[in-house]
Amino acid sequence: MLLIRSTLFNLLFAVSTILFSTLLIVSRIFGFRAAWFWAKTWSASTYWLLHVLCGIKLRVEGREHLPEEACVVMSKHQSAAETIAMPILVPPYVWILKRELYFIPFFGWGLAVMGTIAIRRGNPREAIKQVIEQGKYFLDMRRWVVIFPEGTRSAPGTTGKYQPGGIVVAHKAGVGILPMATNAGVCWPKNSFIKHPGTINVRFLPFIDAETVAATKRSDLLAQLESDIESATRELGG
């Protein structure tokens, strides 16, 4: 039964991604807000499918920590699930992601027209320069910036190497940092066809304001963020 439900979800998810990506791309000519509507609708419809077909619920904690102003979100990355959820979790934002994602039909094209910070991993020095310049540009436009400091997905119970890019962007742009933890990989494991019933928990941790970001040594702040995000992730069962 789990295989059947997961198969049905994956088929409908593929169809909805093509449909909503097309609507997003076409509506982009009417402005960012019009396209953003379809991004949020895709996100919400995917979680409706997950709930109905796979028995997966989404629970969000710590919304009170979201600031009024644009900031950098540094999030745990275990699954495609937290990526899909992001449009219904935070205000309009841009991703920091690898450029290769643009080549995914429909989904990647949607990312491209919405505006992202797409880096080439072959040149780390050039990549961090690009992240800083474009991150500041979007934050000045009041668009949030979302980054996964581990760089790639990590399985539940494991921790990737945290990178300071999000801190550098926040410092240069004079904004704060919102940490986010999740156990999404328990229900939607990395590279897994099967989706497991349960609850995907997302927890926003206390906001770190711009003054604290500026006053704290980068290595100390990175260590604090890693400790806080990983501890919260384990508490959530991830």
CATH at 167: 3.40.1130.10
Domain presence at residue 96: yes
Give the model's pLDDT for residue 98. Answer: 81
Give the model's pLDDT for residue 228. Answer: 98
Domain presence at residue 134: yes
Domain presence at residue 188: yes
Domain presence at residue 14: no
Give the model's pLDDT for residue 59. Answer: 98
Domain presence at residue 102: yes
Nearest Cα to 42, choosing from 93, 7, 83, 77?
83
Q: Which two tokens stand for residue 58?
A: 């989404």
The domain total for the chain is 1
pTM of the prediction? 0.93
Rounded Cα distance between 179 and 206, Å, is 7
Give the model's pLDDT for residue 101. Answer: 83
Domain presence at residue 4: no
Rounded Cα distance between 38 and 174, Å, is 30
8 A C-beta contact, residue 175 and residue 35: no
Domain presence at residue 30: no
Rounded Cα distance between 25 and 19, Å, is 10
Give the model's pLDDT for residue 127. Answer: 78
8 A C-beta contact, residue 199 and residue 184: no
**What parts of the chain have a pLDDT lower than 70?**
121-123
Domain containing 68 equals: 56-235
Please provide the distance, in angstroms rounded to a whole number, between the alpha carbons at the two ends of the chain. 25
Domain presence at residue 160: yes
